[in-house]
Structure 1
Amino acid sequence: MLISMNWIREYVSLPDHLTMDKLAHDLTLRTVEIEGAKNPAEALEHIVVGRILRVAPHPAADRLRLATTEVGLEHPVQIVCGGINLRPEQKVVVALPGAKVRWHGEGAPVVIQPGKLRGEASYGMICGSDEVGLEELFPAKQEGEIMDLSSLDVPAGMPLGDALGLNDVILEVDNKSMTHRPDLWGHYGLARELSAIYHAPLALLPAFEAPKEVLLRPIEVEDAADCPRYTLTQVDQVSVAPSPLWLQIRLFSVGVRPINNVVDLTNYAMLTTGEPCHAFDADSLTGGLCIRRAQNDEELVLLDGSQVSLTREDLVIADEKGAVALAGVMGGKADSVHPKTGTILLEAASFDPSLIRRTTKKHALRTEASMRFEKGLNTQRVEETLGVFQAMARTLLPGCVFTSYQDVAQAATPTPSVRVTQDFLSRRLGRELSLQDLMQSLSPLGFQVAKMEDAFDVRVPAWRATGDVSLPEDLLEEVARMIGYENFSFQAPQVELTGPVRADDARLDRRIREYLAFRCGLQEIYTYPWVHDQYIKAAQLPTDHLCTLAAPPSPEHAHLRSSLVPGLLEACDKNSRYFEELAIFEVTQVFRSDECYSPSVPEERLPKPEKHLGIALMGPDPEALFWRLKGIVEDLPRIAMLPPFTFTPYERPPYADRNAWLNVHTQGVPIGDLSLVSLQTLNASGIKHAALAIAQINLSALKAFPSRDNHFIPLPNFPLVLQDLSLLVEESVQWADLKALVAPKVRSVEFIDEYRGSQIPQGKKSVTLRVWLGSDEKTLTSKEIDAVMQDITQTIADRMGAHLRDQ
């Protein structure tokens, strides 16, 4: 959304020392994200108002003329021009040397230089409106017409931006940052925020003086939930004409095209308050109005000339003949304001936001009105937009009379109270808050704060009561942002570092991606989960198990992928016009409607996702592609620590070439396939002059080998001594028990063998083990070695009754 600072200043007096950088910074931290700021006049640098003194024919060109023009310099200048409407005393737009313009409104901007044209000197350029980007404000009636400013009472040489009132700062607000703030979709809402941030006085909007006469046309609202409030005001003696230039400039600056004084006033009121309104031509309506659901297949031609076929999910405004407007979105063409309109019916209403949202998505209609209605507007804002329209109409529609009015108010937007304790706010903000602190933060925003025995009672203003503020946490956010997040002292969190969780699936995923990207040189791609029907048909995949989206992004993308092959075909098709060779892979989920699960309750059935790997190699040599693809897949288990793959021709994929395909198995279980893509599939996918090899592996069916946890053992500083022991032990003694006794006394212990024979007593066995002895301080002596071995032998004898075999 675009915001005019000149417009804002009509409602709030900002500090004189405030820079736009500071204002954008403060708004971004406290309210909405400001993406940029620009002055429209800067695009018109070195472009001025000129006054033509004389016009003479060009001696060497029939279609060119020599215009002696006053441009604010010491002497008039001569400019060669081909405009068809040049005349003496005419005020025109002159681009002086250094200005940037677009020749005939096309191409990139060019810098004007003084020079000669057909042998005659030309200092600058007399411009048409499209050459300086003002064609919407000053549309040319015919080709070759220059922009006529004779109606302006400005001197020659004045910068064009100043002459037109374009010297303004336009803020670009990120719409995503205020989707939850319907109160900010108008200049007055942002003025209220700036008033609270800088403690500046806020001007009141003009009050609406409703006519005492009741509108004779009956108004019926079929369902109050669809339309909580609907007002209609009759205005007589209206003269439709172009709006004054200042109003056209104001709308143009924020991206709205001027139409006429009536329509421009409705747009002005909407951009001020955030509440849309619409003007009907009263004589075009038949009887009363009904706010109802549309009939199935009911047709309506909209203001932009498009025709929509409606359903019961759409809300319309209808007269006795049928629908005249798509409620909250766009008016109908037949009943719109036209040059001969003398009486208008001004609509201002509140509609169900979810209903408007569904209608805009279904018909692909995003308008300034629908963007605001779908956020949820409070019913009290209707008076605000009517008051702004009425105040402006008395100036811009001289002689108009507000004759009658009808208000069908089903339910006013309630203003809830939220109770919050001081402890709740202080503990979460990390600072003590008093009643005064709370009032200083919330009162400028329109909240009413009252101190109760053990809590604060905060009344939410109507413009914030449509779902934005309803919980103590919402008030916490309001207080924090008004204090300023930068004003809170930083407190480092206490972090306890523990051992990482062993995530084998994530490790396997990482190893596969690194192998394909680093070792195989493939590019990883990311695609949407929905696929184009063209590539599903090209792959000849079965469609009975596809998951269908309830609200697809387009009719051709109505299904979720059940295989990665269609997405790989689309990626290769789109890249084939730029690259002769391509090597890509994707690791992502696929979905099948015949495999569902319930994540929470049995009634919730969702398609069970499976993780798949898809690989595509495109190039001129099909045989080389096939063997390269087989090598990549064949080496994958070794690198990723998986059970080995086997390749057998068992069942040919429908998209595969008849002579080059293999199924992939692991431990006897089929997990995928690889193949060259058939010519039929390539042609259906739009891939020409290239061969394609594709592999698809079901990663959900794979499980990596478990690996031990490695730890570091330094090399010994002194030589180790190797000793073998052969022990006679009971048959029931386990090797693990022997190792547990010996290991703490040595550097390492190892099992050698186990023996039973005629030399071994019945019920006994001989176990040979090897130990390594060592010291970190010196080389062991024979006496020290014997002492350790004696200790080991004695320990085993005491604990297990064992003795050396040769004893």
Structure 2
Amino acid sequence: MRVPLSWLAEYVELIPGTTPEDVHAALVKVGLEEEDVHTFELEGPIVVGEVLEFVEEPQTNGKTIRWCTVRVAPDGETAADGGDAVHGIVCGARNFFVGDKVVVTLPGAVLPGPFPIAARKTYGHLSDGMIASARELGLGDDHEGILRLSTLGIDAPVGTDAITLLGLDDAAIEINVTPDRGYAFSIRGVAREYAHATGARFRDPVEQSKPADASGDAFPVEIRDDAPIRGRVGSAVFATRVVRGVDPARPTPAWMIARLKLAGIRSISVLVDITNYVMLELGQPIHGYDLDALRGGIVVRRATPGERLITLDGKERTLHVEDLVVTDDRGPIGLGGVMGGSETEMGESTSNVLIEAANWDPVSIARTARRHKLPSEAAKRYERGVDPEIAAVAVTRVAQLMADLAGGTADTGGSLIHEAPVREAIMLPRGFVSNLIGVEYTDDEVHDALAEIGGVVTVVDDGFTVLPPSWRPDLTGREELAEEVARLVGYHRIPSVLPVAPPGRGLTRSQRLRRQTADVLAGAGSTEVLSFPFATADENARYGSADGSAVASVRLANALDQSTPFLRRSLLPGLIGAARRNRSRGLNDLDLFEIGLVFLPEAGRTYGSAELPVGDAKPSDETLAALDAGIPPQPRHLGVLLVGDLVTKQPGRVAEPVGIADALDAVRRVVLATGAELEVVQGAHQALHPGRTAELRVGGQTVGYAGELLPALALELDLPRVVAVAELDLDAVIAATEPAVEARPIGTLPAATQDLSLVVGADAPAADVAAAVREGAGELLEHLHLVDDYRGSGVPEGSKSLTFALRFRARDRTLTAAEASDAKNAGAALASERFGAVIRA
């Protein structure tokens, strides 16, 4: 919301010299966030000038310029720039005449841009200034010709300061309005908040306009809502007023144009500008109809299937049965609370106007605005809640301005339907605010704060009853009232005390292990990345299935990027994208990881079909179960990608390029951090090198894969030939671990170490051979790991030699060499039985 200071000062006292920064600081104290300061960015001298004469001068480039003689100061006086009272100025516009009053920017002035003005030689003349257009002054978008003051209804003396005359010396503060503070989308609401912050006197603009007598010759209005949402009718308040004999060609006053411009709204016509002005002033959206274009009375209802409406933006819209529409005898003439229709639009031929101010159901308006992608200024206010008590005042204010500025005559009476729900008082127990906020507030402080925001506060035996003001629909319970007390008394009263977490709270086991996993990888030198969870169909098919079988994907109904319309089944596409971007920027050696959700729907099943619950009550267990059933499985995965050199070339050391072993090292660190036991076996994945792929198992369950991308795929992705990757289901790894890891006692007796070399078939998985040796060696075997995989001279063709380092230890005695050898041979025997292993001499 942008608030011009001159407008704000009409309804709350601003101390002379108050700056936009001062207003921002005051509003921050009551919880409104500052955003920016807006000005017209002009510097004088900019004055009113009178065109004395001009000469048309055709140019060789086909353009005709005017060499103008312009008076910029009264006779006998010096101009504002220190020069003569009459200046010669070159102007390319042709929409002005001798005797016209115009805006002249003299040498030394600065226009928005910044665009400094100086005397300069052009078209054979010394142009001593510039005659300005509305766009050059920042007043609007019109740049077809210069600004003639007569079009604004202004006849000021020559030499008058145009900046002050046109209201261009004003400034506007911009604040961020949160969804619960819809009343702050108005000058009225912001002025009230400034009064709360500073104690300045507030003058409510609503109290300055007396509503019309609704018992007069009313315009016929009927509300028929046969399908209310959440039991609430679409419109509970509807006020109208008729103004006859308006002149739509009259100029909008300069002060109104300037205020609208600072507030972020462009001037259109005097009739439309007035409705926008009152909307900003009171927070009540207004719509004006060309009365003569209406057919019969107005009926407010829900749209019927197939109905269409051409809105003011010129687009034809197919209406939904939940949409609230304003209709006459021909059908829909407006999308209630969002945008009017083109058939009854106020235009150049309008002479009689029907003014409408209504109060629409916030949920209906929010759904309609999003359904039709129409985030209008009206919808923005209605979906946050508009004061239901000011509709009649608003139409009266519009009628008054149309009479004053457009020459109309307002009918003495108006129509009003007012069926807004009766507000209920809230019980606020004594001491509740202090207990909730943690500050001792006196009863007087609580009473005065709630009365100051407009509440009707009644003292009862055990506390207060508070009837919230009509403009605060967000005040629905005692917690909200407590927040208002804290806000108005001052946030500075709340001490900065770190709360003590109750026993049993904190991170869950899964959260703690996930965080521990990230810490371990980051501590080892990896960089965590976060990528968008979106993918293409090809990426999901390539990385989301190990064996290339068809997979199902979740397609987004409204994707951010139509090139990636699916939710990802794998983290690898995001990691690969991050690697490609970084390498394109010269970062060639990368060690990346990501922890995030993947989405694994079951083929042939429809998700998201459950009906969304309304937001006015806690959903039942059955509703939540139905919603959960409509969500595809979303396990949390860990992805790793390494590319380039793990160790760069340096004096005395050659570069060490990454490979599958480095991806496996990262996986081992993760699994070790969770306390699980990892089993690595030969695997296959359609996106990975067939000879350099490992299947990762925990507790006998496959939890992921590690390996190197297919070289052809890496080349296609503009990556080096070797790209090491790994991905595992982190949720499955954590679920497979014991809640408490039992520490093994450290053996104090001597260990016996021996090596075992076995010759097996080349296709025998080393992990399976190791498992056989471990099982056969029995409980004396404390540790086993593979130290060599040899294929070459001395080993039969089609075979390989696997060498294992074994460590034996007994917990109750010192092992003899014979006992260790017997255990080793037992392991070799089982390997021989399963794989035909032969001990290599």
TM, length-normalised to structure 1? 0.74
Residue 530 (structure 2) pairs with residue 526 (structure 1): yes
Equivalent of 2:313 in 304, 311, 320: 304
2:299 and 2:217 map into 1 onto residues whose CA distance is 17
Aligned partner of 1:438 in structure 2 is 446
Shift of residue 335, structure 1, vs aligned partner: 1.5
Per the alignment, residue 4 of structure 1 pairs with 4
Which residue of the other structure, out of 199, 202, 224, is the alignment partner of 1:221? 224
C-alpha deviation, 1:172, in angstroms = 0.3
Tell me by how many angstroms 1:446 deviates.
Answer: 1.3
Alignment gaps of 5+ in structure 2: 73-78, 227-231, 609-620, 646-654, 751-808, 817-841
Task: Report the equivalent of 1:564.
Answer: 571
| Structure-2 residue corresponding to 1:676 | 709
The residue type equivalent to 1:754 in the other structure is R
Task: Name the SS of the counterpart of 1:592 in structure 2.
Answer: coil
**Other-structure match for 1:794:** none
Q: Quote the Cα distance in structure 1 between the aligned partners of 2:507 and 2:220.
A: 73
Does the alignment pair 1:82 with 2:82? no
Shift of 1:663: 4.8
CA distance in structure 2 between the aligned counterparts of 1:97 and 1:458, rounded to whole angstroms = 61
Secondary structure of the 2:407 match is coil
1:343-387 CA-to-partner distances (Å, cap 9, x unmatched) read: 222222121111111111122110000001111224212123123
Q: Which residue of 1 aligns with 2:278?
A: 269
Q: Does 1:162 align with 2:164?
A: yes
Matched, 1:483 2:489: yes
Q: State the partner residue of 1:36.
A: 36
Structure 2 SS opposite 1:562: coil
* Cα separation, partners in 2 of 1:262 and 1:149, compared to 1, 3 Å: closer
Aligned counterpart for 1:455 among listed residues 458, 463, 470: 463
For residues 386 and 53 of structure 1, the distance between their equivalents in structure 2, rounded to whole angstroms, comes to 45
Q: Report the counterpart of residue 175 of structure 2 in structure 1.
A: 173
Partner SS, residue 443 of structure 1: helix
Structure 1 pair 576/135, CA: closer, same or farther in 2 (3 Å)?
Answer: farther
Looking at structure 2, the residues matched to 664 and 296 of structure 1 have their Cα atoms a distance apart, in angstroms, of 56
Query: 2:634 — aligned with what?
Result: 609
CA positional deviation for 1:206: 0.4
Are the aligned partners of 1:592 and 1:607 in contact in 2 as well (CA < 8 Å)?
Answer: yes
Whole-Å separation in 1 of the counterparts to 2:293 and 2:273: 20
Structure 2 match to 1:474: 480
C-alpha distance in structure 2 between counterparts of 1:27 and 1:119, whole Å: 55
Report the Cα distance in structure 1 between the residues aligned to 2:432 and 2:694, rounded to whole angstroms. Answer: 62
Shift in CA distance, 696/166, structure 1 to aligned 2, threshold 3 Å: same
**Cα 1:544/1:380, change in 2 over 3 Å:** farther
User: How far 1:397 moved relative to its partner?
Assistant: 3.1
Report matched runs for 1:647-726 at 5 Å.
Answer: 648-652=682-686, 656=687, 662-667=693-698, 669-670=701-702, 671-676=704-709, 693=723, 695-703=726-734
SS at match of 1:463: coil
State the one-letter code of the partner of 1:636.
Answer: A
**Is residue 2:208 matched to residue 1:202?**
no
Q: Give the residue type in structure 2 aligned to 1:184.
A: A
Q: What residue identity is the alignment partner of 1:24?
A: H
The separation in 1 between residues aligned to 2:324 and 2:298, in whole angstroms, is 13
* Deviation, structure 1 residue 294: 1.7
Question: Would you say the 8 A contact 2:684–2:695 is kept in 1?
Answer: no
Asked if structure 1 preserves the Cα contact closer than 8 Å seen for 2:306 and 2:318, the reply is yes
Aligned to 2:136: 131
Structure 1: how far apart are the matches of 2:541 and 2:372? Answer: 27
My pick for the range that moved more, 497-506 or 315-324, is: 497-506
Other-structure match for 1:416: 424
For structure 1, the residue ranges without an aligned partner over 5 or more in a row are 103-107, 711-721, 725-749, 758-807
Partner of 1:646: 680
- In 2: Cα distance, 1:702 partner to 1:280 partner: 66
Distance change (3 Å), C-alpha of 1:80 and 1:366: same
Residue 152 (structure 1) shift: 3.6
Shift of 1:483: 1.5
Do the aligned partners of residues 691 and 4 (structure 1) sit closer, same or farther apart at CA in structure 2, a change above 3 Å counting?
farther
For the residue of structure 2 that corresponds to 1:462, the secondary structure is: coil
Distance 2:210 2:182 in 1: 21
State how far apart, in whole Å, the 2-side matches of 1:370 and 1:94 are. 40
Deviations 1:666-716 (A, max 9, x none): 356431355537979998xxx679989565332223358988999xxxxxx
Q: Which residue of 2 aligns with 1:732?
A: none
Kindly provide the amino acid, as one letter, of the partner of residue 205 in structure 1. Q
Instruction: Give 1:462 shift.
Output: 1.4
Native 8 Å contact 1:324 1:335 kept in 2: yes
Cα distance change of structure 1 residues 126 and 16 upon mapping to structure 2, 3 Å threshold: closer
**DSSP 3-state at the match of 2:277:** helix
- Offset at residue 439 of structure 1 (A): 3.8
Determine the structure 1 residue equivalent to 2:247. Answer: 239
Give 1:347's match in structure 2, choosing from 356, 373, 390: 356
CA distance in 2, matches of 1:561, 1:275: 45
Q: Following the alignment from structure 1 to structure 2, what is the Cα–Cα distance between the partners of residues 660 and 119? A: 82
Distance 1:181 1:497, change over 3 A: closer
Secondary structure of residue in 1 paired with 2:196: helix
The code of the aligned residue for 1:702 comes to: V
CA distance in 2, matches of 1:282, 1:682: 69
Secondary structure of the structure 2 residue equivalent to 1:369: helix
Aligned to 1:784: none
Kept after mapping to 2: 8 A contact 1:660/1:676: no
- CA gap 1:368/1:505 in 2 versus in 1, 3 angstroms: same
Supply the AA of the counterpart residue of 1:165: G
Whether the aligned pair in 1 keeps the contact of 2:7 and 2:187 (CA below 8 Å) is yes
8 A contact 1:354–1:374 mirrored in 2: yes
In 2, Cα distance between the equivalents of 1:493 and 1:580?
A: 42
**Structure-2 change in CA distance of 1:281 and 1:162 (3 Å):** same
Aligned match of 2:780: none
Structure 2 residue aligned with 1:185: 185
Q: Secondary structure at the match of 1:702?
A: helix
Q: Is the 8 A contact 1:277 1:347 kept in 2?
A: yes
Question: Contact between 2:535 and 2:573, CA under 8 Å: does it hold in 1?
Answer: yes
| SS of alignment partner, residue 147 of structure 2 | coil
Contact 1:211–1:402 (CA under 8 A) maintained in structure 2: no
What's the CA shift for 1:557? 7.0
Residue of structure 2 equivalent to 1:371: 380
Note if contact 2:596-2:636 (Cα within 8 Å) is conserved in structure 1. Answer: yes
RMSD across aligned C-alpha pairs, in angstroms?
4.5
Matched, 1:291 2:300: yes
Deviation of 1:174 (Å):
0.6
Distance 1:501 1:433 in 2: 31
Cα distance change on mapping 1:239 and 1:502 into 2, 3 Å: closer
Counterparts of 1:460 and 1:626, CA distance in 2: 71
Measured in 2, the distance between the counterparts of 1:751 and 1:514 equals 36
Q: How many Å apart are 1:305 and its aligned residue?
A: 0.9
Post-superposition shift, 1:165? 0.8
1:14 touches 1:200 (CA, 8 Å); kept in 2?
no
CA positional deviation for 1:577: 7.7
Q: Deviations over 1:281-339 (max 9, x none)?
A: 22222233322222233221110112222221322112232211111110011121121
Deviation of 1:255 after TM superposition, in Å, equals 0.9
**Map of 1:475-624 to 2, 5 A cutoff?**
475-486=481-492, 488=493, 490=495, 492=497, 509-510=514-515, 513=518, 522=527, 524-531=528-535, 536=540, 545-547=552-554, 559-568=566-575, 583=590, 585-594=593-602, 602-605=625-628, 606-615=631-640
Could you tell me how far apart the structure 2 residues matched to 1:503 and 1:219 are?
57
One-letter amino acid of the counterpart of residue 173, structure 1: I
Alpha carbons of structure 1 residues 337 and 578: separation in structure 2 relative to 1, 3 Å: farther
8 Å CA contact 1:49, 1:159 repeated in 2: yes
